[in-house]
Amino acid sequence: MDTSDAYINMSGKAKEIQFAHSNYEAGDFYYEGRDGVTGQSLFFIAPETAVGKPRTVADMKTWLPRQDQLQAMVGDYAAQSTLLYRYLMKETIWPDPEISSLEQLWLIIVMKEIYFKVWKGQDWVKAK
C-alpha cells in the first residue's frame, strides 16, 4: 500500500473518487493527518464493523484506494490489461520518476479514463 506523501496528495485531490466512495468497506485505508507531536502520518483501516456505514463530512478522511479498488473502477481483467498495456507501452508515462507505485499509476489511469483529468504534479486538471 502506497502511503507516500505524493499518493496522499494525489488521492486527496481526486475529489471525484473521494466523493464517489461514500460508504466504508472492510480494509479501506484512510489518511487521517499528522500526529501533532511526532509529525508522523496517521492512518485508519476500516474494520468489519464499519462496512456499509456512510462516510460523513465530519469524518471525511482521505481515502487511499488500493490497486485492486482502482482496477475495479475500470472494468474486468481484459479492460484492466488493455489500459495498463496502453499506459505502460504507448503513452510512456512509466517509468516517470514522479510515479513511484502502481497505486499512483492506477489512480492516473482511473482519473484519465473516467474523469478525463491528468495529474500535473500538484493537482488534477482537465485533459485536453
- For the chain, domain boundaries: 5-126
Q: b/e map of 51-78 (b: 16 or more CB within 10 Å)?
A: eeeebeeeeebbbbbbbebbbebbeeee
Q: How far apart (Å, rounded) are the C-alpha atoms in residues 45 and 37?
A: 22
- Cβ atoms of 86 and 119 within 8 Å: the answer is no
81 grid coordinates: 490489461
Measure the CA–CA gap between 99 and 69, rounded to whole angstroms.
18
Give tens-digit pLDDT for 51-107. Answer: 888 887 667 789 999 999 999 998 898 888 888 877 776 665 555 667 778 898 889
DSSP the chain: ----HHHHHHHHH-HHHHHH--B--TT-EEEEEE-TTT--EEEEE--GGGTTPBPPGGG--EE---HHHHHHHT-SHHHHHHHHHIIIIIS--TT-TT--SHHHHHHHHHHHHHH-EEE-SSSEEE--
Structure-model confidence comparison of residues 13 and 78, the more confident one: 13
The pTM for the full model equals 0.80
In this structure, what C-alpha cell is assigned to residue 35? 500526529
User: What average pLDDT does the structure give for the chain?
Assistant: 87
Q: Which residues pair with 44 in a beta bridge?
A: 30
pLDDT score recorded for residue 36: 93
